[in-house]
């Protein structure tokens, strides 16, 4: 009996059956990459983090745990709910997370407090390093990593190029290893490219969002050659409907709030805690990006512990990009393609590759020439008009968890359709 016949003959029951079939297929698709016995954190909402299964976190944590506090990820964003200070609060599920509080920075006013005024930066930080296996909320990718909170967004909702550049310079001065930029703008401009080049020369991997315009080109700064650009997948290993895409990027889970393809009763967003203490499902290349920053942090931790990490400088950035882009799950047409780029990042493959390296392989590693070469293109001067260049966060929607369940599901009923 075809699905069409089922639909006609069974009416409402057909719909139920179709949904069941859809869920069964997706559950299998989500589970197959997980090896038996992989670490499962006790965080109660971890079961809603389909995104972590998709990038192979269970087995990755078996390799390296939550990484190392010696690895520092700078999150340049709306701030982070990392401290109790003047009306701002440390949220409960970041309480065991390591923060570089001494170097926290508000690049918009020069203060040493990077408290979150919107929630975006707190959510992004959670994906990198939410307190994990603490019986609270959700998990994070590299939960032992140290987070450096740097605020670059102003109260008008924009991040200006001068503030972002100042934030990058702060991250360099503070010895960051990775910079997460879950933000973008459609055109290049301003002071960011030169700052990104300084980060590259200092050995810092900059990871940035591809953008949410469904375009076949990248937002800036993701499009700069030193940056690792990140597009978004949905829960069924497809490109998210909003994600920009080119061949020169990786993809990671960004979610699709329109559907519950995972069948867990909630919208398929990326779940993390917000500044209000509640858990929110967000979608966007903003959400995909911190998966890659977290995986980079794990790779750095493992590389250091195995003695295969190149000295801190451009070679380390090239090495890191090479490990991540060469260990992806190939999606779409075989090899690198213009929809999924290098493919879906896979933490456990990346760590297995690090484990396969010996110290002597450092010299032998064949880095792609375009990655080792001088970055292409001339430096961009501030826009001719002298106007500042504005960047937006790369989030495309959000639903608080208490509204992303049964009620949302009833409203979205007609948007659910079979997956072929
Ligand atoms: Ca937790
Ligand atoms: Ca779901």
| Proximal ligand: closest to the CA of 412 | 2
Among 131, 209, 243, 286, the one annotated catalytic: 286
| Cα angle: 300, vertex 200, 330; to 5 degrees | 60
Task: Determine contact, residues 41/82, Cβ cutoff 8 Å.
Answer: no
Cα(93) to centroid(ligand 2), Å: 21
Distance between CA atoms of 108 and 158, rounded to whole angstroms?
Answer: 11
- Dihedral of the alpha carbons of 26, 282, 143, 36, in degrees to the nearest 10: -10
Cα(161) to centroid(ligand 2), Å: 36
Distance between CA atoms of 129 and 256, rounded to whole angstroms?
Answer: 22
Cα(397) to centroid(ligand 2), Å: 15
Q: Which domains does the chain show, CATH number per domain?
A: 45-374+395-413 (3.40.50.200)
Cα(140) to centroid(ligand 1), Å: 7
Mean pLDDT along residues 23-41: 56
| Proximal ligand: closest to the CA of 51 | 2
| Proximal ligand: closest to the CA of 266 | 2
Among 77, 100, 115, 177, the one annotated catalytic: 77
Cα(215) to centroid(ligand 2), Å: 26
**Three-state DSSP state, 65:** coil
pLDDT recorded at residue 249: 98
Catalytic, 216? Answer no
pLDDT digits (tens, 9 = 90+) for 117-167: 999 999 999 999 999 999 999 999 999 999 999 999 999 999 999 999 999
pLDDT recorded at residue 358: 82
| Proximal ligand: closest to the CA of 45 | 1
Cα(262) to centroid(ligand 1), Å: 21
Catalytic, 276? Answer no
Distance between CA atoms of 18 and 370, rounded to whole angstroms?
Answer: 48
Cα(160) to centroid(ligand 2), Å: 35
* pLDDT of residue 416 exceeding 60: no
Which pLDDT band, with edges at 50, 70 and 90, does 402 fall under? confident
| Proximal ligand: closest to the CA of 401 | 2
Q: In what order do the strands lie in the sheet with 270-273?
A: 270-273, 279-283, 397-400
Cα(134) to centroid(ligand 1), Å: 5
Mean pLDDT along residues 233-253: 98
| Proximal ligand: closest to the CA of 49 | 2
* pLDDT of residue 196 exceeding 50: yes
Among 43, 68, 120, 256, the one annotated catalytic: 120
Give the dihedral sign, CA 246/340/371/164: positive
- Ion ligand 2: residue ranges with CB closer than 5 A: 260, 262, 264, 266, 268
pLDDT digits (tens, 9 = 90+) for 362-397: 654 544 433 333 333 333 333 445 577 899 999 988
Task: Determine contact, residues 272/36, Cβ cutoff 8 Å.
Answer: no
pLDDT recorded at residue 3: 38
Which pLDDT band, with edges at 50, 70 and 90, does 414 fall under? low
Cα(27) to centroid(ligand 2), Å: 10
Percent of the chain with pLDDT over 90: 76
Mean pLDDT along residues 221-237: 97
Cα(269) to centroid(ligand 2), Å: 7
Outline where DSSP puts E strands in 61-104: 72-77, 98-99
* pLDDT of residue 4 exceeding 50: no
Burial class (CB in 10 A: 0-12, 13-18, 19+), 414: exposed
Mean pLDDT along residues 293-321: 97
Mean pLDDT across the chain: 87
Residue keyed to tokens 């493959």: 349
Mean pLDDT along residues 176-188: 96
| Proximal ligand: closest to the CA of 272 | 1
In 10 A of CB 306, how many CB atoms? 15
Catalytic, 286? Answer yes
pLDDT digits (tens, 9 = 90+) for 61-81: 999 999 999 999 999 999 999
Cα(63) to centroid(ligand 1), Å: 20
Cα(175) to centroid(ligand 2), Å: 38
């Amino acid at each position: 009996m075809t699905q069409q016949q089922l639909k006609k003959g069974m009416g409402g029951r057909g719909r139920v059956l179709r949904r069941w079939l859809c869920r069964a297929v997706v559950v299998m698709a989500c589970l197959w990459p997980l090896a038996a016995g992989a670490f499962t954190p006790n965080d109660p909402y971890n079961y809603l983090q389909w995104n972590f299964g998709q990038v192979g976190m269970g087995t990755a944590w078996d390799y390296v745990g939550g990484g190392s506090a010696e690895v520092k990820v700078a999150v340049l964003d709306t701030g982070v709910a990392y401290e109790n200070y003047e009306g701002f609060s440390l949220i409960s599920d970041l309480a065991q997370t390591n923060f570089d509080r001494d170097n926290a920075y508000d690049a918009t006013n020069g203060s040493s407090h990077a408290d979150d005024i919107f929630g975006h930066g707190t959510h992004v930080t959670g994906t990198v390093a939410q307190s994990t296996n603490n019986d609270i909320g959700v998990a994070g990718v590299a939960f032992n990593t140290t987070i450096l909170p740097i605020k670059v967004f102003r109260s008008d909702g924009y991040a200006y190029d001068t503030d972002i550049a100042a934030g990058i310079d702060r991250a360099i001065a503070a010895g960051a290893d990775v910079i997460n930029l879950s933000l973008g703008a459609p055109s290049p401009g301003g002071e960011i490219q030169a700052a990104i080049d300084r980060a590259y020369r200092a050995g810092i991997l900059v990871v940035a969002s591809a953008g949410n315009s469904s375009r076949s080109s990248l937002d800036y700064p993701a499009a700069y050659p030193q940056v690792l650009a990140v597009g978004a997948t949905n829960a069924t290993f497809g490109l998210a409907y909003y994600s920009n895409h080119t061949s020169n990027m990786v993809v990671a889970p960004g979610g699709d709030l329109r559907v519950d393809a995972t069948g867990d009763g909630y919208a398929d967003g990326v779940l993390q805690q917000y500044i209000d203490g509640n858990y929110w499902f967000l979608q966007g290349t903003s959400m995909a990006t911190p998966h890659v920053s977290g995986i980079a942090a794990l790779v750095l931790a493992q590389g250091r512990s195995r003695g295969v990490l190149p000295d801190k400088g451009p070679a380390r950035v090239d090495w890191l990009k090479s490990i991540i882009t060469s260990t992806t799950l190939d999606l779409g047409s075989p090899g690198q393609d213009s929809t999924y780029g290098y493919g879906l990042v896979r933490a456990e493959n990346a760590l297995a590759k690090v484990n396969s390296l010996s110290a002597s392989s450092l010299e032998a590693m064949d880095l792609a020439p375009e990655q080792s070469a001088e970055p292409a293109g001339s430096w961009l001067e501030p826009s001719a008009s002298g106007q500042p260049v504005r960047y937006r966060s790369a989030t495309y929607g959000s639903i608080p968890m208490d509204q992303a369940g049964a009620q949302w599901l009833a409203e979205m009923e007609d948007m659910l359709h079979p997956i072929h």
